[in-house]
Amino acid sequence: MSAVASDSISLEELLNRLEKTIAQLADGSAPLDELVAAHERAARYLAEAEGRLDALRSRADILSRQLSE
């Protein structure tokens, strides 16, 4: 299972969640325990997004090679 267990959500939604979490971190007004939890969430969202983007790049490379043949 993925780090976010979010295969059912779109990449766009995942990036939206990451953006909101980063905004919460940038604000810095939450208590420390909430900021630590937000940081952990952001790390999971980022890892999931990077994994999905890598998979999409691989698929695009395969398709590009097939079209070149």
| CA terminus-to-terminus distance, the chain | 35
Tens digits of residue pLDDT in 24-38: 999 989 999 999 999
Is there a domain that residue 46 lies in? yes
Tens digits of residue pLDDT in 42-54: 999 999 999 999 9
pTM to 2 decimal places: 0.78
When pLDDT is averaged across residues 1-10 and rounded to a whole number, the result is: 64
Is there a domain that residue 4 lies in? no
Domain span including residue 25: 11-68
Is there a domain that residue 32 lies in? yes
Is there a domain that residue 23 lies in? yes
Is there a domain that residue 1 lies in? no
Domain count, the chain: 1
Burial per residue of 29-49, b for 16 or more beta-carbon CB atoms within 10 angstroms, e otherwise: eeeeeeeeebeebbebbbebb
Give 5's pLDDT tier (boundaries 50, 70, 90): low
